[in-house]
A = this chain, B = another copy of it.
Amino acid sequence: MAYFLMTIAYDGSNFHGWQKQPGKRTVQGDIEAALGLVLRAPIAIHGVSRTDAGVHAYGQRAGFAADTPIPAEKLRIALNNILTGRGSGSGARGDIRIREVVLAEEGFHARHDAVGKTYIYKMLTAGEPDIFLRNFFWQIDELPDAGVMRQAAEYLLGTHDFRSFRSAGGKGQEPTVKTIYSLRVCQGTYVTGVRDGRGEEDRNAMSGSPGVTTTVEIAGSGFLYNMVRIIVGTLAEVGAGRRGVESVPAALAALDRRAAGPTAPPQGLYLAKVHYDRNFAVALSEGI
């Protein structure tokens, strides 16, 4: 039996999340159905992160064991052909893309061997909500103060018991001590309707007033249920001046969900990367 490791991007807008559920369209369900067609056998895949409905992935990983002579790159092409064809003509067409398939070493397991993950959360503050980005950003009216968000984020770095930042609905028995290696808050200008251009000369008939994106990038050893979205919801409240910087260490110390802020909505969240290299935290701290 060979073990294959896939790198997967998906637009989570039209899925009921990653995990297979009877009668619902899920990312795992679609990929397993496509693999079944290619390999002519039922295949179970091991996804690293069970992303929720509306949450996206750029670098989800999933593995599967199969007894097949088909080379990894041929598998990738066959899977993408099937995944691109489904739901033809609707907006859902092509909302999963297998970015890479590689043959793994013997004994490797996609989920058990993962040592960390990086998530990105995107917020947008513009004069008018942008409907083309409604599934891809959390659009907030008031521009958050990135400076105080960064001060608050400092308290979350390192190893802590994060149970205040966990939603009910997660696995109750999972250890709540996690390590955050890196937490960056970036802001950038944004011009409605242009968004792909870079300068004044790119202004066009869809260019509105400039807006600002606020991006939170967070890398850690592991994350509790809704942990990234609760961290972002809490930092956003700090950025809006509705809670102080010191409320963040207080929330950590409280070991109580009610001490942290609200859960940010799913559509701003992207699983950016899964880490397998045990030195990834060192690389992150060196800004690689």
Contact = CB atoms under 8 A, between A and B. Distances in A.
A198 B206 contact: no
A272 B120 contact: no
A136 B128 contact: no
Contacts of A215: 196-197, 202, 204
A220 B97 CA distance: 38
A205 B272 contact: yes
A32 B206 CA distance: 25
User: Can you tell how many copies of this chain the complex includes?
Assistant: 2
A13 B87 CA distance: 12
A175 interface: no
Nearest to A15: B91
A249 interface: no
Interface residues of A, number: 56
A278 interface: no
A58 B129 CA distance: 12
Given A197-B213, A213-B196, A58 B124 contact: no
15 contacts: A10-B131, A11-B134, A58-B193, A58-B205, A91-B91, A94-B131, A94-B134, A97-B131, A120-B193, A188-B199, A188-B202, A198-B198, A202-B215, A204-B215, A204-B272
Given A13-B90, A99-B128, A189-B198, 13 more contacts: A10-B131, A11-B132, A14-B90, A14-B91, A58-B205, A91-B92, A94-B131, A95-B134, A97-B131, A186-B197, A188-B194, A195-B196, A196-B213
Q: Which 7 A-B pairs have the closest CB atoms?
A: A13-B91, A205-B272, A188-B197, A196-B213, A118-B205, A14-B91, A58-B206
